[in-house]
Amino acid sequence: MITAFRRALDTWYVKAFFVIMVGAFIFWGIGDVVRLVGTSTWVVKVSGQTIEAQAFQAEYQRALSAATQQLPPGQEATPDLKRKVGESAMERIVGEAAMSGILRDMRLVSPDSTVAAYVRGMPVFKDNTGQFSKPLFDAALRNNGLTEQRFLQSVRIDLTQRQLLGAVTAGVLAPQAEAMPVYAAIYEKRAADMVAFLFNRAPAVPPADEATLRRFYDNHPDIYATPEYRRIKAVILSPKSLANEIAITDDDLHAAYERAKITYITPEKRSAQVISVGDEAKAKALQATWQGNADWAAMQEAAKTADAAAVALDDSTQEQFPDSDLAKAVFAAQENAVTGPVKGALGWYLVKVTHVAAGSEKTFDAIKNELKDRVLAEKATDIIYTRANTLDNLLGNGTSLDDLPGDLGLIALAGTLDAEGKTPEGEPAPLPDPAELRTAIIATAFQLRPGDPLRLTEAKTPSGPAYFALTIEEITPPSVKPFDAVKDRVSGDWTFEQQHHAQNEAAAAMLAAIQGGRNFADAATIAGVIPRLTPLVSRGEGVAGMPPELHQMLFGLKKGEPTMVETAEGFIVAIPAEIVVPDPNTDKAGYDKMRTDLSRNIASDYASVFQEAVRLRANRRINQANFDQIVQPQQ
């Protein structure tokens, strides 16, 4: 029987029957199964690694959640934002996988003990005793949408990557051809001749008649309008709102003080004139000259003759001096006395301390309240996240602010304010500290409309996250105040405008005279103003006597080229009067410091180029269909 059946299977009509049956199954639905054979579930392949859809989706959702928190309340992520977040997450994964691949090829790895020690040493995971806290660790990962395995892997790659990049950038030194122009730009100093056309020194303005004032009032309705006001009702969840539930002892405060003590210490700073020379005999000769009451300018000339370097270092801590032996000498010297010669790594030093800024230390009692806020924020971490989740669920289920339970540790408030956070009486609205929380509440209040659904909003503050939800009860639109109510203010504003116009014309006339060839002093005399010379300033550091508005423009001018700027007090006409080009031969410490900083920046660029090269070498392949399905799924 079986033999006969087998023979029948070999006949052409039986084979045709099975072909028809297979076709029917494919047509009627089994094709769904057949089509799934070979379906790809990966999103990207790079450096021998395959990133599956599930792994990419987790990274994308974490990044999208972080991006969405930055949006205004009630606003959803747009398709364009979702795509940008997806592309960013993809680049992050590709970069990490590419670096992981090259580290694997080079057999570089950070052992588990190193990773564990690094994580345990991270301040964000330490409790108020300074010990690693597993609950804080778990809460931080949970709030950032990370698994422990994913976080530890990222740390491992980061630590190992640092080893590799350290080797890539080792020995990087900015070339002289690049360092010199940068040094010249940073340390160049300028002074200007300037005159001020002050508004309060403008010629007297005759009083305006009522018709003139009314015309001014009509032309400036925005100046005399009341702002839009909004009456809000809100609840706030913050470390301070939970203060009554959290016990803080003196031991807690003293422990916090000891952990952060270094931040409460202001180190002593000293300004010193330093001469560095390679020969001890020359150093002693220079010492004798200096002790003979030679001034600093004379000593700089004497240093050049002796092939020595003379440099003035201003307001520097002991760590900021380029040589530890020099630093010890400076901080052991008496003020205004010549000390040395002192042997150091760069030769022999002569030192004269010109100014001492004593250090200071904030005592425990002086910052006790600040410490209370810090410890409170630390202890409130777990509680506040749990309460925030509960509050978010209640609001999402339609619970009104008035019906929220009283055991969540919330602060309730209601009142009227404008977009600057002021009440109709002109006083700051009584919103809770810190400033970041107040700013977030005000901004949210002027983004919502009456009737918008309640939504929990997070505010980032120095002491940790705070949360609030608010509703708009009433909007009072802006309106123009009656003329009679603001007549005195209109008169003052009109008078100031006339003074502003008069001083603008006077300053412009002087500027035109200088541009026409008249020298600065003569032009000032004709204008009836007194010129003065500003102090020397560098590009990055202003000083008293140099208006910031002029400082911003001064280094873009040629010597003798005039300019005119407006300040809050009036108009300034100025001209560069002195340009001091720095000399690295007399400022070796400053030049070396700048070159070190520049070398560090170049090394960072080298590292970025190397990482990009690794990324390109990895030859990634992206499954665009699966990427699109995750980032922008079809509805």
Q: What is the 3-state secondary structure (H, E, C) of 426-493?
A: CCECCCCCCHHHHHHHHHHHCCCCCCCCCCCEEEEECCEEEEEEEEEEEEECCEECCHHHCHHHHHHH
Question: What Å distances lie between residue 462 and 139, 473, 584, CA to CA?
Answer: 18, 30, 42
Looking at the structure, do residues 424 and 293 belong to the same domain, yes or no? Answer: no
Q: Which pLDDT tens digit goes with each residue over 571-611?
A: 999 999 999 888 888 888 788 888 888 888 888 888 888 88
Indicate whether 408 pLDDT > 70. Answer: yes
Looking at the structure, do residues 234 and 379 belong to the same domain, yes or no? Answer: yes
Asked if residue 606 is part of any domain, the answer here is no
Looking at the structure, do residues 120 and 52 belong to the same domain, yes or no? Answer: yes
Q: What pLDDT score does 415 carry?
A: 94
Looking at the structure, do residues 576 and 516 belong to the same domain, yes or no? Answer: yes
CATH code (residue 60): 1.10.4030.10
Work out the pLDDT band at 102, boundaries 50, 70, 90.
confident
Looking at the structure, do residues 121 and 159 belong to the same domain, yes or no? Answer: yes
Q: What does the H/E/C string look like for 538-558?
A: ECCCCCCCCCHHHHHHHCCCC
- What CA dihedral angle connects 338, 341, 343 and 348, to 10 degrees? 100
Measure the N-to-C terminal CA separation of the chain; round to a whole number of Å: 57
Q: What pLDDT score does 72 carry?
A: 64
CB-based contacts of 552: which residues, under 8 Å, 6+ apart? none
| Residue span of the structural domain in which 24 resides | 2-36
Tell me how many domains the chain contains. 5
Which residue matches tokens 């602060």?
A: 411
Looking at the structure, do residues 47 and 24 belong to the same domain, yes or no? Answer: no
Question: Where is the domain boundary, 453, 480, 507?
Answer: 480
CB-based contacts of 117: which residues, under 8 Å, 6+ apart? none
Which of the two residues, 160 and 203, has the higher pLDDT score? 203
Q: What pLDDT score does 4 carry?
A: 43
Whether the bond into 72 is cis, omega within 30 of 0: no
- The phi-psi region of residue 466 (left if phi > 0; otherwise alpha if psi is between -120 and 50; otherwise beta) is beta
Strands 42-46 and 457-461: unpaired
Q: Which pLDDT tens digit goes with each residue over 540-573?
A: 888 888 999 999 899 999 988 999 999 999 999 9
Work out the pLDDT band at 2, boundaries 50, 70, 90.
very low
Work out the pLDDT band at 177, boundaries 50, 70, 90.
confident
Q: How far apart are CA 298 and CA 295, in angstroms?
A: 5
Asked if residue 429 is part of any domain, the answer here is yes
Work out the pLDDT band at 73, boundaries 50, 70, 90.
low
Q: Which pLDDT tens digit goes with each residue over 498-534?
A: 999 999 999 999 999 999 999 999 999 999 999 999 9
Indicate whether 363 pLDDT > 60. Answer: yes
Q: What pLDDT score does 358 carry?
A: 86
Indicate whether 118 pLDDT > 90. Answer: no
Min mean pLDDT across 305-314, 430-439, 467-476 is at 305-314
Q: What pLDDT score does 14 carry?
A: 46
Q: What pLDDT score does 19 carry?
A: 47
Looking at the structure, do residues 465 and 375 belong to the same domain, yes or no? Answer: yes
Q: Which pLDDT tens digit goes with each residue over 226-247?
A: 899 999 999 999 888 888 887 8
Which of the two residues, 82 and 129, has the higher pLDDT score? 82
- What CA dihedral angle connects 17, 22, 24 and 29, to 10 degrees? 160
Looking at the structure, do residues 310 and 163 belong to the same domain, yes or no? Answer: no
Which of the two residues, 222 and 523, has the higher pLDDT score? 523
**84 touches 70 (CB < 8 A):** no
Looking at the structure, do residues 455 and 373 belong to the same domain, yes or no? Answer: yes
Looking at the structure, do residues 57 and 165 belong to the same domain, yes or no? Answer: yes
**489 touches 224 (CB < 8 A):** yes
Tokens (6 digits) for 527: 């204008």
Q: What pLDDT score does 236 carry?
A: 93
Looking at the structure, do residues 109 and 142 belong to the same domain, yes or no? Answer: yes
